[in-house]
C-alpha cells in the first residue's frame, strides 16, 4: 500500500504512535508571532496595569471539548472556589476543531486565583493565565507561527492532544476481534491520559500472556543484535538489563527506564495514549522527552505489529536514547520543528523516519543499524543489511523528499558515517527553515528561549562565555600540571 496523504499515510504514524494532521492544520493550529502570542506566553513577572497585580483582576485561558454542558461544568469550578467572573469570551480552537478556547477574567486575590488554577488543572487544559483580553482576542501583526510549548510542562497539552487512541484498532489488526485485548488497550489509554508532567509513571502489572509475547520478541531480536546493531546499542543494552530489568521474562517499567535515561543522556520518557501529530511528537524531542507506548502487540503474532508497541520503544529506541550524541541528534530535529511551517515539519518528519526509525551507520567498515524501526523488526533488520537493500548517503535536502513505505520494506535506506555527521547535516538543513526567530533550549529551566533580538542573544552569549571560561581554566590547569 502506498502512502495516501501529503507525505505519509495515517498508517505510518500509527506505526510510530503519531498521525499526520497537516490536512487539518487550517482549522486546528494555535498561532503566535515571532514575539509569541501573549495568550500562550508565560506569566508576566513585571506588574503593570493590565496584569492584575494592582487591580486584583486575573485571567485564565483554557480549552474545553465543544460539547453541550462542558462550559457549565467548567464555570461551576469557579463557583466552587468562590471566584467572581468579570468577563468571559469563547472562540473556536485554531488547532482542534472539536475544542473551544475560553477566556475568563476573574476578580479575586492572588491566593484564591492560585487555588483556582490548581483546581482547574485537574479538569481542563490551561493554556495561559494573566493574559489581557485585548491581546487574547486580537490577531497579532506580522507572520503567523504555529503554537509550540515554551516550557516542558506544556508538553502535557501535546501528549494529551491524541488524534486517535491506541484502543481504536483497525479491522486488519490481530487483536481487532479480541475483546479482552481491546479492554486491555483501553486501560493503557487511561494511564497515559491521566499522566501529567512531574508525576512518576504508574507501574504496570503485565499479564503472563503479555510477558510471553515480549519474551519471544526479546529472544529473537537479541540473537541478531551482535551482527546487526550499532555499537551504541550494543553498549547500552547490557546496562538496561542491569538497571532496568531488560530480560526475556520481564517487561521493563517506563519509570525505571526514564530514570536511567535521565542519568545517561538527559532524556526522559512519558506514556502516550495514542497517535500524536508529527508536530506534537517532535516538540517532545526538543525537550529530550520521548512519548512512549506501554501496550504489547497481540500474542497471536508476536513477530508482527501494525503499530509501535512497547517492544519497539524499549528495544529499538531506548538503547540509542541513552547515548549522549544520539540524544543530541534527536533533540536537534525536535528543536528545528518548533514554530516551523506545515511543509517544513513534514520534511523534518521524513528525516526523522529515515534516521531515527530506519537509519544506518558505518562502523569498522561495515553497515550497522541504529534506526528503531529496524532494531525492532527481525525481517527488515536482516533485509536492510543485506545485498538486496538500496543504500544511499544521508542528505536531508534529498532525504526529506523520499517516499516512506508502510506495509513493505523501504525502497532505500540512508547511511551516515556517524551521529555527529548526521547532526551537523541536520543543523545546516535547519537553517533553511523559515521562521522569524531561532530557538535556544535552557536545560536549567527546561524551557525554550526565542532568539529574536539583540537582548535575547546577549543572554545566550553570557552563558556561552561562562562555559568558555571554564574550558579555558581547564586547559590552563592541564598545561600547568600535566605539561600538555
Q: Are 419 and 361 in contact (CB under 8 A)?
A: yes
Q: Are 237 and 226 in contact (CB under 8 A)?
A: no
Residue whose grid cell is 508532567? 197
- Give the separation between CA 200 and CA 79, rounded to whole angstroms: 31
DSSP state, 178? -
The three cell numbers locating residue 240? 538496561
Secondary structure (3-state) at 122: coil
Q: Output the CA–CA distances (angstroms, integers) from residue 246 to 239, 301, 414, 431, 446, in the order listed.
A: 9, 21, 29, 40, 29
Q: Would the CA dihedral through 64, 70, 71, 76 be positive or negative?
A: negative
Q: Are 423 and 355 in contact (CB under 8 A)?
A: no
Residue whose grid cell is 512519558? 270
Active site residue 312: yes
Q: Output the CA–CA distances (angstroms, integers) from residue 179 to 40, 170, 204, 307, in the order listed.
A: 41, 13, 20, 18
The three cell numbers locating residue 224? 541478531
Q: Which of 10, 312, 332, 377 is catalytic?
A: 312
The three cell numbers locating residue 3? 502512502
Q: Would the CA dihedral through 202, 205, 210, 212 be positive or negative?
A: positive
- Give the separation between CA 26 and CA 127, rounded to whole angstroms: 20
Q: Are 456 and 450 in contact (CB under 8 A)?
A: yes
- Give the separation between CA 341 and CA 350, rounded to whole angstroms: 14
Q: Which of 39, 255, 317, 330 is catalytic?
A: 317
- Give the separation between CA 334 and CA 337, rounded to whole angstroms: 5
Those residues with Cβ within 8 angstroms of residue 177's Cβ, 6 or more apart along the chain or in another chain: none
- Give the separation between CA 310 and CA 294, rounded to whole angstroms: 5
Concatenating the DSSP letter of every residue in 260-321 gives: HHHHHTS-EEEE--EEBPHHHHHHHHHTTEEEE------TT-TT--SS--HHIIIIIIHHHH
Q: Output the CA–CA distances (angstroms, integers) from residue 279 to 68, 137, 168, in the order listed.
A: 29, 25, 21
Active site residue 317: yes
Q: Which of 210, 232, 307, 357 is catalytic?
A: 357
Q: What is the dihedral of CA 447, 450, 456, 462, to 10 degrees?
A: 50
As annotated, the active-site residues are 312, 317, 357, 376
Amino acid at each position: 500500500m502506498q502512502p495516501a496523504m501529503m507525505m505519509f499515510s495515517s498508517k505510518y504514524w500509527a506505526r510510530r504512535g503519531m498521525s499526520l494532521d497537516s490536512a487539518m492544520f487550517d482549522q486546528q493550529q494555535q498561532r503566535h508571532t515571532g514575539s509569541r502570542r501573549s495568550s500562550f506566553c508565560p506569566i508576566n513577572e513585571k506588574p503593570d496595569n493590565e496584569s492584575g497585580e494592582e487591580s486584583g483582576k486575573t485571567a485564565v485561558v483554557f480549552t474545553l471539548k465543544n460539547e453541550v454542558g462542558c462550559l457549565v461544568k467548567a464555570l461551576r469550578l469557579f463557583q466552587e472556589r468562590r471566584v467572581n467572573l468579570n468577563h468571559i469570551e469563547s472562540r473556536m480552537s485554531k488547532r482542534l476543531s472539536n475544542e473551544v478556547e475560553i477566556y475568563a477574567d476573574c476578580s479575586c486575590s492572588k491566593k484564591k486565583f492560585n487555588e483556582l488554577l490548581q483546581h482547574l488543572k485537574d479538569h481542563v487544559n490551561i493554556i495561559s493565565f494573566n493574559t489581557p483580553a485585548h491581546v487574547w482576542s486580537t490577531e497579532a501583526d506580522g507572520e503567523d507561527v504555529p503554537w509550540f510549548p515554551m516550557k516542558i510542562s506544556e508538553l502535557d497539552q501535546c501528549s494529551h492532544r491524541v488524534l486517535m487512541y491506541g484502543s481504536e484498532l483497525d479491522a486488519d489488526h490481530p487483536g481487532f476481534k479480541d475483546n479482552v485485548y481491546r479492554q486491555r488497550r483501553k486501560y493503557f489509554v487511561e494511564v497515559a491520559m491521566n499522566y501529567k508532567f512531574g508525576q512518576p509513571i504508574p507501574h504496570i502489572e503485565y499479564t503472563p500472556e503479555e510477558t510471553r509475547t515480549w519474551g519471544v520478541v526479546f529472544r529473537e531480536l537479541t540473537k541478531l543484535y551482535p551482527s546487526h546493531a550499532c555499537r551504541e546499542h550494543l553498549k547500552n543494552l547490557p546496562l538496561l538489563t542491569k538497571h532496568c530489568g531488560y530480560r526475556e521474562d520481564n517487561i521493563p517499567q517506563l519509570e525505571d527506564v526514564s530514570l536511567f535515561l535521565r542519568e545517561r543522556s538527559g532524556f526522559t520518557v512519558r506514556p502516550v495514549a495514542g497517535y500524536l501529530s508529527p508536530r506534537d511528537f517532535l516538540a517532545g524531542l526538543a525537550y529530550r522527552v520521548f512519548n512512549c507506548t506501554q501496550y504489547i502487540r497481540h500474542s497471536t503474532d508476536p513477530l508482527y505489529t501494525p503499530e509501535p508497541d512497547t517492544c519497539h520503544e524499549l528495544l529499538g529506541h531506548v538503547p540509542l536514547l541513552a547515548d549522549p550524541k544520539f540524544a543530541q541528534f534527536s533533540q536537534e530535529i525536535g528543536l528545528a520543528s518548533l514554530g516551523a511551517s506545515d511543509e517544513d515539519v513534514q520534511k523534518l518528519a521524513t528525516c526523522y523516519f529515515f534516521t531515527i526509525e530506519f537509519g544506518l551507520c558505518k562502523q569498522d567498515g561495515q553497515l550497522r543499524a541504529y534506526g528503531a524501526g529496524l532494531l525492532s523488526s527481525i525481517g527488515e533488520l536482516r533485509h536492510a543489511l543485506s545485498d538486496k537493500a538500496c543504500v544511499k548517503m544521508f542528505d536531508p535536502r534529498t532525504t526529506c523528499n523520499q517516499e516512506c513505505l508502510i506495509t513493505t520494506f523501504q525502497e532505500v535506506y540512508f547511511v551516515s558515517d556517524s551521529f555527529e555527521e548526521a547532526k551537523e547535516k541536520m543543523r545546516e538543513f535547519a537553517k533553511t527553515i523559515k521562521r522569524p526567530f531561532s530557538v535556544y533550549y535552557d536545560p536549567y529551566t527546561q524551557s525554550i528561549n526565542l532568539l529574536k533580538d539583540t537582548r535575547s542573544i546577549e543572554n545566550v552569549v553570557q552563558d556561552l562565555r561562562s562555559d568558555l571560561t571554564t574550558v579555558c581554566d581547564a586547559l590552563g590547569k592541564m598545561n600547568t600540571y600535566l605539561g600538555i
